[in-house]
């Protein structure tokens, strides 16, 4: 069985001159609901013309997505580099020859390096196999746990630290707060001169009173004032404003957008432009 800490990488980006840093880059973050509607997802991402794409709920070799490697196919279609990390080994989705995995993928116009999986120390036990639970697809038995995929995007002389996360959907906000705090504390190892992006499916509204204050670790939340839902209605009375892009360092986020016209997932894509305040 493939190690759950293994990161798959690939390059489909054209060999162009990447020595000159752009003044602006376009970022998209999106939970693509496993990639079931792959053609529509690829069409939107191609139209978005993003330089950096963070995807959550990305399947590999799962029956529900025709046993395809979704991250690799998207990177090839979009002609981008990619890194893909495993969140879960899906016990009811694999074939006889290939296990099925599910996780996060980061795609970039520029080279990605030093990609690794950081698994949260606190996890829900909801997904664990139980002897009394049938090994059938509706019960989603899994091995692994929620994690963040950390990659470094080398944009000319500047290296971005990119944290692509998916926090737990089960349990309470206290669990999600602790997982997010782990990520934000981990980012503190980067100096203030390093551009840092933390984005993905947080599964809770970080702007509500009592939740993690991202400002305490120097992050800016450009989506905080939009007041718009980022996912279709969830059960259990939870918020549907649960996806975020946070930024820190010598970058200025502008034009944040949540695209409600896209129906290829139960989440909506988030996008923004980052203006670089670094030496050119």
pLDDT in tens, the chain (280 residues): 568 889 999 999 987 656 677 889 999 999 999 999 999 999 999 999 999 999 999 999 999 999 999 999 999 999 999 999 999 988 888 887 889 999 999 999 999 999 999 999 999 876 666 656 556 566 566 788 999 999 999 988 889 999 999 999 888 889 999 999 999 999 999 998 999 999 999 999 999 877 766 767 889 999 999 988 999 866 555 678 999 999 999 999 999 999 999 999 999 999 999 998 855 4
**196 close to 247: Cβ distance less than 8 angstroms:** yes
99: containing domain: 7-133+140-276
CATH number for the domain spanning 37: value is 3.60.10.10
Written as six digits, the tokens of 163 are 């944290």
Whether 2 maps to a domain, the answer reads no
What are the backbone angles phi and psi of residue 112, rounded to the nearest 5°? -110, 135
Written as six digits, the tokens of 247 are 């930024």
**146 close to 179: Cβ distance less than 8 angstroms:** yes
Whether 208 maps to a domain, the answer reads yes
Alpha-carbon span 127 to 5, nearest angstrom: 18
Number of domains in the chain: 1
Residue 81 CB burial class (10 angstroms; 0-12, 13-18, ≥19): buried
Whether 91 maps to a domain, the answer reads yes
Q: At what angle do helices 38-48 and 70-78 cross, to 10 degrees?
A: 40
Whether 1 maps to a domain, the answer reads no
pTM of the model as a whole: 0.93
Q: Closest by alpha carbon to 153, among 3, 57, 9, 268?
A: 9
Strands (E), the chain: 7-11, 24-34, 52-60, 81-90, 100-108, 112-119, 142-144, 147-155, 158-166, 196-201, 243-248, 251-258, 270-276
């Amino acid at each position: 069985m493939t190690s759950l800490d293994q990161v798959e990488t690939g390059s489909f980006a054209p060999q162009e001159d990447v020595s000159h840093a752009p003044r602006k880059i376009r970022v998209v973050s999106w939970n693509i609901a496993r990639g079931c509607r792959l053609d529509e997802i690829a069409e939107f991402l191609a139209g978005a013309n993003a330089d950096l794409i963070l995807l959550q709920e990305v399947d590999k070799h799962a029956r529900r997505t025709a046993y395809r490697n979704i991250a690799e196919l998207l990177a090839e279609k979009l002609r981008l580099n990619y890194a893909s990390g495993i969140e879960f080994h899906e016990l009811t989705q694999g074939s006889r020859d290939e296990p099925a995995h599910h996780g996060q993928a980061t795609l970039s116009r520029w080279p990605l390096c030093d990609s690794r999986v950081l698994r949260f120390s606190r996890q829900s036990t909801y997904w664990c196999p139980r002897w009394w639970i049938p090994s059938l697809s509706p019960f989603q038995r899994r091995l692994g746990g929620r994690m963040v995929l950390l990659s470094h995007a080398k944009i000319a002389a500047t290296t971005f630290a990119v944290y692509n996360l998916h926090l737990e959907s089960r349990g309470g906000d206290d669990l999600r707060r602790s997982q997010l705090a782990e990520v934000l504390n981990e980012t503190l190892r980067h100096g203030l001169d390093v551009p840092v992006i933390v984005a993905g499916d947080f599964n809770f509204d970080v702007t509500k009173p009592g939740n993690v204050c991202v400002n305490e670790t120097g992050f800016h939340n450009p989506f905080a004032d939009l007041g718009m839902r980022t996912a279709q209605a969830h059960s259990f009375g939870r918020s549907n404003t649960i996806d975020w892009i946070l930024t820190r360092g010598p970058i200025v986020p502008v034009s944040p957008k949540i695209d409600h016209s896209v129906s290829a997932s139960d989440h909506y894509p988030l996008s923004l432009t980052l203006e670089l305040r670094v030496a050119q």
